[in-house]
């Protein structure tokens, strides 16, 4: 399946104005969940939506105009096809009411919406939302008590918001259709960050496990499809415990894996006679573009620039020895 086929698109632009809202209700039920109680619908109501699957999760980008308030009722909850949670982040100010929380959310703030009823209300006529829909059983495998997060504002400038908000904004349907890392790594990263935010300290009882995880990742980072489950199996611990161990130390599997691959590539660029393409494969990077992007972000230089710098240093060192 091509990237274009993996992304599903929806728009009300070609639909007569008087039919747009009903058309949207049918799609909303399929993409996220049923929400039938709306108010303040204006004559210029319009929706555009893109969605794609990312493992067991669904990523949705929604642009809407002319719908200031929505309420998910108990009837909607009972008519949902599956039990699920959704992470929301928007580019506008929005209010959420759920689970005893009634807060205004600024652009970039994150909220976890649970399976119960809720109210949301917009202060602007139009907005863009990034939504990550997650099965309830998956969320509950990461969080002992999901209700501790449901409805709570996670500010974009808070310790956890600075981690979670960029992740949600980057997990677009385009990324899901052509992921730069194995899907399980990206999916697990979301779960690990949620566990970190929830403050689950279960793994603190295993202080020596962190070093074992780090050592195993360094030894196996050259495997392009390496996942957290692979490392957990090698260490004979549940994958959930591995992620919670990392979360307890403000770490994620994806970040440690990229660190290990970057360090391995740097060593080879400085001392190996392998080609850059060979080094990329030996370090475990899936594609040349991803390799170049990661190296530039983490070192400020492309692999070619790093290779040339190492060669110039070697030449000067040899000259000095004469």
CATH class of the region 3-178: mainly beta
Bridge partners for 110 per DSSP? 89, 154
Given a cut of 90, is residue 200 above it in pLDDT? Answer: no
Return the exposure string of 267-296: e unless at least 16 CB atoms fall within 10 Å of the residue's CB, then b: ebbeeeeeebeebbbbbbbeeeebbbebbe
pLDDT given at position 201: 42
CATH of domain 198-318: 1.10.10.60
* Digit-coded pLDDT (tens) for 266-313: 888 887 788 889 998 999 998 888 888 888 888 888 888 888 876 664
Tens-place pLDDT, residues 201-249: 444 445 678 899 999 999 999 999 999 999 999 998 888 888 888 887 8
For the chain, domain boundaries: 3-178, 198-318
If one counts every other C-beta atom within 10 angstroms of the C-beta of residue 251, the result is 18
Mean pLDDT, residues 92-121 taken together: 87
Q: Which residues of 158-179 are buried (b: 16+ CB within 10 A; e: fewer)?
A: eebbebbbebbeebbbbbbbeb
Whether the pLDDT of residue 320 is over 60: the answer is: no
Q: What residues have CB less than 8 Å from 318, skipping those under 6 apart?
A: none
* Average pLDDT, integer, range 73-78: 88
């Amino acid at each position: 399946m091509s990237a274009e086929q993996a992304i599903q698109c929806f728009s009300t632009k070609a639909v007569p104005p008087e039919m747009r809202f009903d058309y949207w209700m049918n799609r909303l039920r399929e993409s996220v969940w049923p929400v039938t109680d709306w108010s303040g619908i204006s004559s210029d109501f319009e929706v555009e939506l893109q969605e794609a699957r990312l493992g067991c999760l669904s990523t949705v980008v929604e642009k809407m105009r002319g719908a200031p308030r929505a309420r998910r009722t108990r009837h909607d909850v009972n008519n949902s096809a599956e039990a699920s949670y959704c992470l929301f982040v928007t580019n506008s100010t929005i209010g959420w009411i759920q689970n005893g929380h009634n807060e205004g959310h600024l652009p970039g703030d994150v909220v976890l919406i649970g399976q119960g009823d809720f109210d949301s209300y917009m202060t602007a006529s139009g907005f863009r939302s990034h939504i990550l829909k997650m099965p309830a059983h998956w969320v509950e495998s990461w969080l002992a008590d999901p209700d501790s997060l449901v409805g709570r504002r996670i500010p974009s400038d808070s310790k956890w918001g600075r981690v979670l908000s960029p992740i949600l904004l980057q997990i677009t349907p385009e990324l899901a259709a052509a992921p730069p890392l194995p899907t399980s790594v990206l999916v697990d990263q979301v779960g690990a960050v949620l566990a970190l935010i929830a403050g689950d300290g279960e793994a603190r009882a295993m202080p020596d496990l962190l070093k074992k995880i780090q050592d195993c990742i360094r030894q196996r980072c050259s495997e392009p499809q390496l996942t957290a489950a692979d490392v957990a199996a090698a260490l004979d611990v549940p994958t959930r415990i591995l992620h919670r161990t990392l979360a307890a130390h403000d770490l994620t599997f994806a970040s440690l894996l990229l660190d290990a691959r970057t360090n391995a590539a740097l060593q080879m660029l400085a001392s190996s006679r392998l080609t850059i393409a060979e080094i990329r494969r030996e370090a475990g990077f899936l594609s040349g573009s991803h390799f170049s992007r990661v190296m530039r972000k983490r070192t400020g230089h492309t692999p070619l620039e790093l290779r040339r710098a190492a060669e110039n240093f070697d030449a000067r060192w040899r000259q000095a020895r004469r």
